[in-house]
Amino acid sequence: MQLWNSFAGFVKKLADFHFGVFSEPTGQASFGRWSAGVVVVTGCFCVVYVTVKTHAIPELAGITGFIAAGGGVFYGANKAAFAWGNNKLEANGQPEEPK
C-alpha cells in the first residue's frame, strides 16, 4: 500500500508540473504551449520511426526546422495575441472584462 501511495504522489507531482508548463501564469491552459508540445512530440516520433526503419540516425536539419517553425509559429502567435489584447485594454483605460 505504501508503494501505491508513493506512486500516486509521484503522478500528482508530475501532473502538477505539466499543468504549470502548459498553462499561462494566470492558470489558463495555453493553446500555444500545447500546440508547440504536440509539434515537438510529433518531431521526436518521426525521428524514432525513421531510425527504427532505416537502422540509422537521420539527418536532423529538416526535423529541426519543422520543430522550430511549427512550434515557434503556434507559440509566437499565441503570445502576440495575448500581448496585443493586454496592451489594447491598458491603452483604452478599460478594466479587464470578467470571465
Domain definitions of the chain by residue range: 30-92
Let me know the angle formed at the C-alpha of 9 by 30 and 35, rounded to the nearest 5 degrees. 20
pLDDT value at residue 95: 53
Let me know the angle formed at the C-alpha of 66 by 61 and 67, rounded to the nearest 5 degrees. 100
Distance CA 95, CA 90 (A): 8
Give the model confidence (pLDDT) of 44-72 as tens digits.
999 999 999 999 999 999 999 988 888 88
**Per-residue tens of pLDDT for the chain, all 99 residues:** 677 788 888 888 888 887 787 777 777 777 778 888 888 899 999 999 999 999 999 999 999 998 888 888 888 887 787 777 765 444 444 555 555
User: Global pTM?
Assistant: 0.62
CB of 45 closer than 8 Å to CB of 7? no
